[in-house]
Amino acid sequence: MSITASTKRIANVHSSKTSLSLIIHGGNNQICVDSRDIAKEFGREHKSVLRTIDDLIADGTISRHEFVPRNYKKRGKEYRHFELNKAGFLKAMPFIGGRKSREGQRRFVDEFLRIEAALARQSKEQASLAYQVARSSGKDSRGILTDEITKFVAYAKAQGSSNADRYFSNITKTVQKSLLVIEPHVTEVRELLTAIQLAKLSLIELMTTQVLTEGMTTKLPYKEIYQSMKKALDGFVIEKTQILGG
């Protein structure tokens, strides 16, 4: 199974001692680990971990379906890192070493197993008719909100906003955070929601759409509309649900 090309780090997995990070690509339930996190957990320099992974890729120990090379920025410079899926990590693990390698191996393997179990439980729920209905409804509400955010971005630009394009991701994140506690790092969040979570998210998306629509109709300043949206979400009292909680 290959790893999807895009990713977004969203939240941390909280385990014993320090925070442990894994990534879920929601489109195919692929669980991955970042080479920077391996270096941290194993007590090695990241450049040493990169060399080990490079060698394992070069000799075919780690196949092309088991990793994705990525770049990250730090202080204006770009640096390399890898995402390894479970197979890639398990193949690399014995060769990485480090002063904390045994503890790091145990913690990562335990976390892979925990998330796999959570995904298995979730897949049973997603087979239900209730999930299919909620999924269909959720697509509709997301599309409606997406269209309205697009209009709001244009509205903000017309009023002089130089960073209006940021509202698309900002509003989406605000809507999700009003309902969900997301762990671990997750891409394609909707793919990991249950029927109940999808139904709640759809309600919040439609409410957000209404606030944006009313604000633009009455020609309020774009900043005021955005703050009204955030206030409406804050006032929407609902118990937050945790994605893939332990």
Phi, psi of 151 (to 5 degrees): -65, -40
Instruction: Name the burial class of residue 25, with classes exposed (0-12), middle (13-18) and buried (19+) by CB atoms within 10 angstroms of its CB.
Output: buried
Closest by Cα among 158, 157, 161, 177 to 169: 177
Check whether residue 95 and residue 147 sit in a common domain: no
Q: How many structural domains compose the chain?
A: 2
Between 5 and 206, residue with greater pLDDT: 206
pLDDT tens-digit profile of 32-91? 999 999 999 999 999 999 999 999 999 999 999 999 999 999 888 999 999 999 999 999
Q: Do the domain assignments include residue 4? A: no
- Contact between 227 and 212 under an 8 Å Cβ cutoff? The reply is no
pLDDT above 50 (res 147): yes
Pick from 94, 110, 125: which residue ends a domain? Answer: 125
Check whether residue 46 and residue 24 sit in a common domain: yes
How confident is the model at residue 12, as a pLDDT?
Answer: 37
pTM of the model: 0.52
Percent of the chain topping pLDDT 70 = 73
Check whether residue 27 and residue 106 sit in a common domain: yes
Check whether residue 118 and residue 28 sit in a common domain: yes
Question: In terms of residue numbers, what domain contains 212?
Answer: 128-243
Q: Do the domain assignments include residue 215? A: yes
Pick from 125, 151, 177: which residue ends a domain? Answer: 125
Check whether residue 132 and residue 97 sit in a common domain: no
Q: Do the domain assignments include residue 67? A: yes
Check whether residue 150 and residue 222 sit in a common domain: yes
Long-range contacts of 170-174 (CB under 8 A, 24+ apart): 171/145, 171/208, 171/212, 171/226, 171/229, 174/229, 174/230, 174/233
Beta bridge partners of 83: 34, 68
Pick from 83, 103, 125: which residue ends a domain? Answer: 125
Given the structure tokens 């599309």, which residue do they identify? Answer: 143
pLDDT tens-digit profile of 184-208? 566 666 666 777 777 778 888 888 8
Check whether residue 194 and residue 235 sit in a common domain: yes
| Interacting residues of 63 by C-beta distance below 8 A, sequence separation 6+ | 87, 88
Check whether residue 92 and residue 117 sit in a common domain: yes
- State the DSSP string of 92-145: HHHHH--TTHHHHHHHHHHHHHHHHHHHHHHHHHHTSHHHHHHHHHHHHHHHHH
Check whether residue 176 and residue 83 sit in a common domain: no
How confident is the model at residue 139, as a pLDDT?
Answer: 63
Q: Do the domain assignments include residue 29? A: yes
Check whether residue 118 and residue 188 sit in a common domain: no
